[in-house]
């Protein structure tokens, strides 16, 4: 067996472009997903009951089925109901929906973990619902959900690789194309693996740093 990493290195510009697509889709899905997830969690807690049921069913379906099946349904089934998306928008949309379901669960447990007394105190202080949310719930929740958020965000990065299957020109797809062109699969997938590994490791470190910084706001009681 021979490893010829030079073949891969010749394609650095391609790889860089694909890496950009990966980062873009990932960032988009994390941003839209966490906004959507937050909205779902708020609606499930404070919205009308039937809406809560519907959202719960939605979250359970997304969390109970493979992302690949979801993205196939969207990409190949979408056109049949007038939802024709190109691969990048389809990938971004699909991953955002997927992320929203998972993030909403994190926020939901975050809401539940906030001691009732803190909300009652805000009520007594005459805060409106919106004020309570912004001034009490949000800051407290940030500390509570941070570790899970970091985890999920790393998970989403790894999930972007699945988008190669619907031909989103991201890292995994582009590098396997190089592999096919030069018949150097092992080399190319080793490089991809190392790139992902480096990035997830970096995220993990950043997350731990952030947790350490935020931990001084932790509840003083146990």
Partner 1 sequence: MSWDLFLLLLQASVTTIVVSVVSIVLGFLLATVVCAGTMSSNTLARGAGRLFVSFFRGTPLLVQLLLIYHLLPQIGLDVPSEVAAVAGMALCTAAYQAEILRGGFGAVPKGLMEAADMCGLGAFATFRRIRLPIAVRLTLPSLVSEIIMILKASSLVSVVGVIELTRMTQDLAASTFLPLPLYASAGVIYLAINAVIAGVGTVLERRVARGHA
Size of the site for partner 1 (CB under 8 A): 38
CA 136-139-143 angle, 5° bins:
130
Which range in 27-35, 38-46, 124-132, 183-191 contacts partner 1 by CB under 8 A? 183-191
> Which residue stretches of the chain are H helix?
5-9, 12-46, 49-64, 67-72, 87-113, 116-124, 129-131, 138-159, 171-182, 185-214
Nearer to partner 1, 26 or 122 (CB): 26
Q: How far is CA 19 from CA 22, 100, 171, 173, in A?
A: 5, 23, 5, 10
Nearer to partner 1, 39 or 161 (CB): 161
Nearer to partner 1, 122 or 154 (CB): 154
Q: Who's near 136: CB < 8 A, 6+ residues apart?
A: 114, 118, 119, 122, 127
Distance of alpha carbon 97 from alpha carbon 116, whole angstroms = 30
Least separation in angstroms between residue 217's CB and partner 1 is 25
For residue 124, state whether it binds partner 1 (rule: CB under 8 A): no
Q: Cβ distance 88 to 21 under 8 Å?
A: yes
Least separation in angstroms between residue 189's CB and partner 1 is 4
Least separation in angstroms between residue 157's CB and partner 1 is 8
For residue 58, state whether it binds partner 1 (rule: CB under 8 A): no
What are the structure tokens assigned to 2, written together?
């021979």
For residue 212, state whether it binds partner 1 (rule: CB under 8 A): no
For residue 206, state whether it binds partner 1 (rule: CB under 8 A): no
For residue 67, state whether it binds partner 1 (rule: CB under 8 A): yes
Q: Cβ distance 207 to 150 under 8 Å?
A: yes
Q: Cβ distance 72 to 85 under 8 Å?
A: no
Binding mask 69-98 for partner 1 (x = CB under 8 A): xx-xx--xx--xx-----------------
Name the residues that contact partner 1, by CB under 8 A: 1, 60-61, 64-70, 72-73, 76-77, 80-81, 154, 158-162, 164-165, 172, 176, 179, 185-186, 189-190, 192-193, 196-197, 200-201, 204
């Amino acid at each position: 067996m021979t490893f010829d990493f030079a073949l891969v290195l010749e394609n650095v510009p391609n790889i860089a472009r694909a890496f950009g697509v990966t980062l873009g889709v990932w960032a988009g899905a994390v941003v839209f997903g966490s906004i959507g997830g937050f909205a779902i969690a708020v609606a499930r807690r404070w919205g009308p009951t039937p809406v809560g049921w519907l959202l719960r069913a939605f979250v359970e379906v997304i969390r109970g089925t493979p992302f690949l099946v979801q993205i196939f349904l969207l990409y190949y089934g979408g056109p049949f109901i007038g939802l024709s998306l190109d691969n990048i928008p389809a990938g971004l949309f699909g991953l955002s929906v997927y992320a929203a379901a998972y993030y909403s669960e994190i926020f939901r447990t975050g809401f539940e973990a906030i001691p009732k007394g803190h909300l009652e105190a805000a009520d007594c202080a005459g805060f409106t619902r919106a004020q309570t949310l912004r001034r009490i719930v949000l800051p407290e929740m940030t500390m509570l959900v941070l570790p899970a958020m970091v985890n999920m965000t790393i998970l989403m990065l790894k999930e972007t690789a699945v988008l190669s299957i619907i031909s989103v020109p991201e890292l995994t797809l582009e590098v396997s194309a190089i592999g096919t062109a030069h018949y150097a699969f092992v080399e190319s997938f080793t490089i991809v693996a190392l790139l992902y590994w480096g990035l997830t490791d970096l995220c993990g470190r950043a997350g731990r740093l952030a947790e350490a910084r935020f931990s001084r706001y932790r509840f003083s009681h146990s």
